[in-house]
Amino acid sequence: MASYDGFEYDVLIVGSGAGGGMSAHILTEAGIKVLMLEAGRDYDPVEETPMFQMNHEAPLRGVPTPDKETFGYYDATVNGGWWVPGEPYTKAEGTEFLWWRSRMLGGRTNHFGRYVPRFNDRDFKPFSHDGLGVDWPLDYDEVQPWYDKCEKLVGVSGNNPGVYDVPDSGEGVLQPHAQPRVYELLVEEACKKLGLPIVPMRRAVLTRAIDTREACFNATDCGRGCSIGAAFQTTTSVIPWAKDTGNLKVLTDAMVREVHLNDEGKASGVTFVNKKTREDVRLDAAVVILAASACETARLMLNSKSERFPNGLANSSGQVGRNLMDSTGANFSGHVPALRGRPRYNEDGLSGNHLYIPWWDYEGQDNGSVKFKRGYHLEIGGGFGEPGMGVGGSADGYGASAKQMVRDNYGSNISLYLRGEMVVNENCFCEIDPDVKDEWGIPVLRFHWKWSDEEYNQVAHGLEWSKKIIEAMGGYVTTSGTTPEEALLPGGEIIHEVGTTRMGDDPTTSVTNKWGQCWDVDNLYIMDGGVFASNPHKNCTITILTLAMKNSTYLAEQLKGDA
Amino acid sequence: MTNKYVSKINRRDSLKWLGSLSSFVVVGGVVVACDTPQEPMPDVTGESNWPNLTFEPINAPGYGTDPDLLNPTTPWPKTLTEEQLNLVAHLSDIICPADDGGPSATDVGVPDVIDEWVSAPYPAQQSDRVLILNGLHWLDDEAGRRFGSIFIVASAPEQLQIIDDIAFETQKEVAEFEHAALFFDKLRTLVFGGYFTTPEGMADIGYMGNVPILGDYPGPTEEAMVHLNEVIANLPA
């Protein structure tokens, strides 16, 4: 048994987000001692979440700045965003790519959207259906009971709408979903007219308390994190539970530099930088789990070179860093005059979508009437949100009439956000930049990115249908970029990057087997989104959690068997 | 009428106040900013009297990547001169006067928000600063050209004569007023943003959230449903 600071452990986990957190929970429950390393600082949502703070209390009314990018002042991202101080990444010439990171316990689970749609049978076998990409070494039937178990543990509100894109959860798994709001009901009406499905969004937001985690009290944005534990994040659930077993020790500000390999070809431990002292520390371990996020894990493996693996640890396939995928994203907005000046009421609800439009045209993909192979869904934006600095952006003139315009306009815009599946392609990958290192001396990633016609055709379809939906509500389109090229957001921007250490049945074309166990190094496991063989349009976190649960259970059985 | 703006916030509070030009949309439970892209300023041609002044960049520190979210503070000092602040205050109430729905912009301290805004060290706000400060300067120049005075001491009808030339979207197409119209658009957005984000402004616009509701989310009120059903009944065929 390895030890650090008097704590003896079997398994070392790199990362405390969805994969690392869930893995720590499963292993420690099984009585296995775990040391977890997190590159960011310690973070406690109970103490730190700004639950009711308002825009007027924040600098610049809470708007995004280079210090708190995109999601604004109150977002639960610490020392991160599209750039991390002292830890750059680079892009090949002509590449547009964005990489969201945070440096905090719990990682990006602290701020994610809590949209948790599960994959269906087809999502696991994309190649078999359309000849593109690769199949997973898993099928839905094998994962289905784990989805149930994971959703039950996480706490998911939603329903079983009987739509193919949204497979049923087991009896008693889901909690009641929240009632739709006026703008969602109007979109529902438009969808009925157009023959589109619209269903409750599965949300990792409790509507019923579970133990000490309270039910959502229908206020404040989930992106700030949740001090009452209603919105799932590892820092109010799996990590504290794992600590409670006495089997977990967490080291924060511990940035792993390298994974070591011993003479037998096994992972023997890691070296991390203690960010506070700036010293390197070497740790031993019987088993190493990488769950640092798809790209950070690939970076770590590519930086861990040895005689046996000159191209990076467990990379005999050459696939580490390859097959990088994000979701496609395109945002589409409209104004609905009939909603102007509508009666006010509290539309906070669960803060995100209560309804959304799942992918509907599998048939069109099969018969070729749809000119792309993979689906998308449409999320819905609108409502009486807390006013921000842009609330008066569409007023004209001045004085009482302009002031009234702002009031009338409030709550009358509806947005549709396309989030779709991209097809894996050889032009999207990350590698080590030969010249650039971060402030800890660790070589950084260089990204390469290129969309294919699959994605442009998909976005064109989404734009067409979004326009139909807006117009079916009597609205008109206000988005300026209406070609797919203008509308498709840069790679990485949807923050669903996966695939860089994919699982498979063939060691020459994949990095791990279906258990996330590296083909080349059998005591090295990957528990983050890197193992995804494809990236269905369904937000990745619930599947990362589910696979980490399934694969950590397998690992625990192996370790118990050894004992 | 007094032209002296008296700040509505004390010094401690003033360190907590600020503003930006982004609307927020909730996507996936996280707030996504729809940043209005910075419109590149058009070139100044012979027809424009835009002063096109340049300013020393603000070098004050930002709040950093790990600020205290429970006790927000604003580390940069305000930079508007007394004259500039008074003019901003005067314009704020032209844009957002008191009416039956709520107080005026200056009643709720909007000029302080704008001062914090244009004094911020971030690129978007620095760009706004150049536009706003040039705009304030242009107003005085224009009042001088037309009435031989600075803007704030011109008569109310004289002031509105200028405002009417720059306050409307269509005036961005008029070469003489193109820049000033962009300035006014920006200022109006900041003024209404500042106003409707205050507790008084939120009450005015009817934002009823940010309060805990125990139990299930109740959904729309009966009144809201009656309205929705009317909207649905009148949808295009």
The per-residue pLDDT for B3 is 65
Residue with tokens 């994203």: A329
Q: Does the pLDDT at position A293 exceed 90? A: yes
| Of the partner residues A221, A223, A398, the one whose CB lies closest to the CB of residue B167 | A398
Residue A466: what residue type?
Answer: S
DSSP helix/strand/coil, A98 = coil
Interface of B with A in 21-60 (CB under 8 A): 21-36
For B22, other C-beta atoms within 10 Å of its C-beta total 25
Q: Does B114 touch chain A (CB under 8 A)?
A: no
Stretch A239-252: mean pLDDT, rounded?
98
> Does A476 map to a domain?
yes
Residue B20 sits in which domain range? Answer: 1-35+83-204
**Can you give the residue range of the structural domain that contains A281?**
1-158+222-323+424-448+496-563
State whether A416 and A332 are in the same domain: yes
B35, A403 in Cβ contact below 8 A? no
Q: How far apart are the C-alpha atoms of B191 and B204, rounded to whole Å?
A: 15
Whether residue A105 sits in one domain with residue A31: yes
Q: What is the DSSP letter of B19?
A: -
Closest CA to B197 of A417, A73, A480, A75: A73
Compare all CA atoms of chain A with the CA of B210 and give the residue at the minimum distance: A219
Q: What are phi and psi of A443, to 5 degrees?
A: -55, 145
Same domain flag for A402 and A471: yes
What average pLDDT does this structure show over A343-356?
97
What is the distance between the alpha carbons of residues A75 and A221, in angstroms, rounded to a whole number?
Answer: 9
* A319 shares its domain with A433: yes
Q: Which two tokens stand for residue A119?
A: 């994959």
Number of domains in chain B: 1
Measure CB to CB from residue B236 to each of A61, A415, A474 and give the nearest one: A474
C-alpha distances out from residue A69 to A74, A75, B33, B35, B129, Å: 10, 9, 9, 11, 20
CATH number for the domain that contains residue A51: 3.50.50.60
Distance, CA of A485 to CA of A65 (rounded, Å): 26
Residues of chain B under the 70 pLDDT cut: 1-3, 8-40
- A116-163: pLDDT as tens digits: 999 999 999 999 999 999 999 999 999 999 999 999 999 999 999 999
CB atoms within 10 A of CB A109: 32
Question: pLDDT averaged over chain A?
Answer: 97
CA angle A109, A283, A87 (to 5 degrees): 50
Q: Which residues of A touch B169 (CB under 8 A)?
A: 396
In percent, the amount of chain A with pLDDT more than 70 equals 100
* Rounded (to 5) percent helix, strand, coil in chain B: 50, 5, 45
Give the Cα separation of A511 and A58 in Å (integer): 45
Instruction: Give how far Cα A88 sits from Cα of A196, B72, B174, Å.
Output: 43, 27, 45
Residue in B with minimal Cα distance to A180? B219
Identify whether B67 is part of a domain: no
Say if residue A223's pLDDT is above 60: yes
Whether B234 is covered by a domain: the verdict is: no
Same domain for A254 and A154? yes
- Whether A537 maps to a domain, the answer reads yes
The partner residues of A37 in beta bridges, in order of sequence, read A14, A251
- Per-residue pLDDT, B8: 65
Question: Does B197 lie at the interface with A, CB-CB under 8 angstroms?
Answer: yes
* B17 and B111 Cβ atoms separated by less than 8 Å: no
Q: What burial class does residue B213 get, using C-beta atoms within 10 Å of its C-beta: 0-12 exposed, 13-18 middle, 19+ buried?
A: middle
Residue A112 in any domain: the answer is yes
Which member of A49, A387, A404 has the closest CB to residue B197?
Answer: A387
Question: Is B98 part of a structural domain of the chain?
Answer: yes
- Residue A562: pLDDT band with limits 50, 70, 90: low
Please state the rounded mean pLDDT for residues A230-243: 98
CB-CB under 8 Å, B122 with A403: no
Residue A528 has pLDDT above 60, yes or no: yes
Instruction: State which residue of chain B sits closest to A86, comparing Cα positions.
Output: B65
Quick one: A307 and A267 in the same domain?
yes
C-beta of residue A415 within 8 angstroms of C-beta of residue A381: yes
pTM above 0.90, yes or no: yes
Q: Are residues A239 and A122 in the same domain?
A: yes
Specify the pairing of strand A524-526 against strand A287-290.
parallel
Confidence grade of residue A454 (pLDDT, cut at 50, 70, 90): very high
Q: What is the pLDDT of residues A93-115, one digit of tens each?
A: 999 999 999 999 999 999 999 99
B181 assigned to some structural domain? yes
Name the residue of chain A whose CA is nearest to B208's CA.
Answer: A346
Tokens (6 digits) for A87: 């830890």
Chain B residue at shortest CA distance from A112: B30
DSSP string, A386-432: PP-TTTTTT--S-HHHHHHHHHHHTT-EEEEEEEEEPPP-TT-EEEE
Three-state DSSP at B32 gives strand
Report pLDDT digits (tens) over A17-54: 999 999 999 999 999 999 999 999 999 999 999 999 99
> In angstroms, rounded to a whole number, what is the distance separating the alpha carbons of residues A218 and A207?
9
Would you list the DSSP string of A234-248? GGGTHHHHHHHTT-E
pLDDT tens-digit profile of A355-398? 999 999 999 999 999 999 999 999 999 999 999 999 999 999 99
Q: How far is A219 from chain B (nearest CA, A)?
A: 5
Q: Within a domain: residue B40? A: no
Q: What is the pLDDT of residues A457-497, one digit of tens each?
A: 999 999 999 999 999 999 999 987 779 999 999 999 999 99
Give φ, ψ of A464 to 5 degrees. Answer: -60, -45
In a domain, B184, yes or no: yes
Provide the chain A residues 230-249 that lie in CB contact (below 8 A) with chain B. 231
State how far the Cα of A50 lies from the Cα of B39, in Å rounded to an integer.
Answer: 33
Query: What is the model's pLDDT at position B39?
Result: 60
Q: Are residues A479 and A558 in the same domain?
A: no
- A479 and A339 in a common domain: yes
d(CA A407, nearest CA chain B) in Å: 5
Residue B144 within a domain: yes
Distance (Å, rounded) from C-alpha A345 to C-alpha A151? Answer: 31
Q: Is position B11 within any domain?
A: yes
Domain match, A84 and A184 both:
no
Give the end-to-end CA distance of chain A in Å, rounded to a whole number: 12
User: In chain A, how many domains are there?
Assistant: 2
